Amino acid sequence: MFQRKTQSEAFWQEDFAVDDDDLNHLYNLFLEDETPRTIQELTLALIQGRCAREEATIQRELARGTVYQPRDSYSLGEQIVFPALDFALGTVVGEREGHNPEYGEFKVIRVRLEGQDSEREFAAQLQQPHRLNLTPEAENHLLSTEELYQRYGSTVQQRLLAYLSAREEFVNFGDLWLPQIALVEVHIGHRNIAEAVLDVNGHPMSPEALLQELDLSTDASPSTQLFSLNYALSCDDRFDDVGYEGQILWYLRRLEPPEVVYPPRRLLYTPQPYDRSGLIEDLLQLEREIDDEATALIAPPALIGDSVIVTLNYPHRRVGTLPLMVRTRPFFPRGSTQHTRITFVDRSTGKEMPGWVVHQYNYVYGLEEWYKAHEIPVGGYVKLERTGDPLVVGVDFLPRRMRREWVRVASVEDGRLVFKMQKMPISCEYDELMIVGEADADSVDELWVRTEEEGKPIFDVMCEVFPELAKLSPQGTVHAKTLYSAINIVRRCPPGPIFAELTRHSCFQSVGGGYWTYDESLRGEERRLSVMR
């Protein structure tokens, strides 16, 4: 059997490059049915085209003469094709007896190859098996184009994608590609109508629904019309795809809240390196309980039910958001870098509220007014519930009879954060370790901005906040979750770096159960003895 180049790994991994013949093959593919195709479909089609071209070339070469096989006999003047010599064509100019006891009787033919002055000799009428003899069984072991795609498709796809991206002849929307010449014209008038329709509708719309409002006046296939519309809208800054998981939904950027396009500063966290090796087991458990969206943990598979309860922290309470984390993410439509418009349904009143899933920054926006209406405090429990629609999510709290309770209240005095115990009306269940109120949001915001701009180390913030919290306890202790909740009033930080500082400095001492004490005189001293786990 002669080796086809397309059957070898070296060809696809090292030698292959997209050429004009490949491009023409893909053009013809589109012209057959005018259907946009994914890069995966184009990759498979390219491999099929390459194999077909090679096979056609082989058949043309083989048709020029007799295929050389050592077992056959040849006559003077006969033309022979040598597949192993890149299908060289030769003419038999002589023959003699072969001499090798190992092979028995055989002939040696003398051949003049086309374009060469010298002659070469080849075995003929050889009775021994030889790898150059063609057999049906060998041909049946060729890899199919589907098998070649499974083995080398990823490499071919990368090179094809780079090639198409650099050519103006092809355009793409998402993973779909189409020759630019096949695009249906979606002119400025069509796009103005689409803007007006979305403006009046007030909700995102599918391209299929928008297409019904436009008269494209074309005989192109429905799939090409949809692709052309999506491509045109994606090139117009007025429109935004707010769909999810392959579902395209168009909306107007000017109708989107700023918090959807630009993440609130309160939620932004700049990752900082820290040593996790010193975190004792109870701190690791608390970190998992808090489940901050900025915590880069590999979480175990979550048990997903029809509802989940989240403890509201300060940054999300202030800006009206919820975190996308291990436990909450399954309740919202999935996406990548875009944002998805959803609807919250207040389970206590039935009221519907617009919401946005901001996939790139791991939060859901749209609950600020709901928090205020139900007076949900920092540390309050928020319940999410599934509905039959992936774009509709139920939201609720755990109500209880209204009563005034003593809680920590933050305020700003002399440019620093202080805490006092005050009575506040509470009408929902909450985490006692996380709850915190504030006396003056504006002054707290000013302190937060100053702390962020100064870039104050998290350890310094801890040393300022800890004594304020400790004075509220007769034992002078502060729970690690309480410290996390309080620090996030003036500095966005997940629990990991905070807990790492607790274990690293001798001024913080664990007294068990997640509670810690603070000794100002030891501030700055790193712990010399390992913490018992």
- Over residues 14-36, mean pLDDT: 90
Supply the pLDDT for residue 136: 56
Is the per-residue pLDDT at 99 higher than 50? yes
Strands 321-323 and 363-365: antiparallel
The tokens describing 512, both together, are 């068990």
| Same CATH fold assignment for domains 70-133 and 183-255 | no
Helix/strand/coil (H/E/C) assignment for every residue in 315-359 = HHHHHCEEECCCCCHHHCCCCCCCEEEEEEEECCCCCEEEEEEEH
Q: What is the per-residue pLDDT across 309-353, written as a single tens digit (0 to 9) for each?
A: 999 999 999 999 999 988 899 999 987 667 999 999 999 999 999
State residue 370's pLDDT score.
97
Relative to beta strand 363-365, strand 66-67 is unpaired
Mean pLDDT across the chain: 90
Contact 378, 370 (CB under 8 A): no
Percent pLDDT > 90 in the chain is 65
Average pLDDT over residues 361-374: 95
130 closest CA partner among 121, 140, 120, 122: 122
* Residue 531 banded pLDDT, cuts 50, 70, 90: very low
> Domain locations in the chain?
5-62+140-173, 70-133, 183-255, 403-522
Percentage of residues of the chain with pLDDT beyond 70: 95
Q: Find residue 309's DSSP bridge partners.
A: 383
| Residue 368, pLDDT above cutoff 90 | yes
Q: Which CATH number describes the domain made up of 183-255?
A: 1.10.10.10
Indicate the pLDDT class of residue 527, thresholds 50, 70 and 90. low
Helices (H), 166-262: 188-201, 207-212, 222-234, 258-261
241 has pLDDT over 50 = yes
- Contacts of residue 440, defined as CB under 8 A and 6 or more positions apart, other chains included, come to 411, 412
Predicted TM-score of the model (pTM): 0.75
Which CATH class for the 403-522 domain? mainly alpha
Residue pair 340/364 in contact (Cβ under 8 Å)? The answer is no
* pLDDT tens-digit map of 451-486: 988 888 999 999 999 999 999 999 999 999 999 999
pLDDT at 257 over 90: yes
Lowest mean pLDDT among 276-285, 425-434, 474-483: 276-285
Region 494-513: what's the mean pLDDT?
94
Please give the CATH number for the structural domain made up of 70-133: 2.30.30
What's the CA gap between 151 and 497, in Å, rounded?
Answer: 44
Average pLDDT over residues 12-35: 90
Longest dimension (CA), the chain: 114
Q: What mean pLDDT is predicted for residues 24-29? A: 90
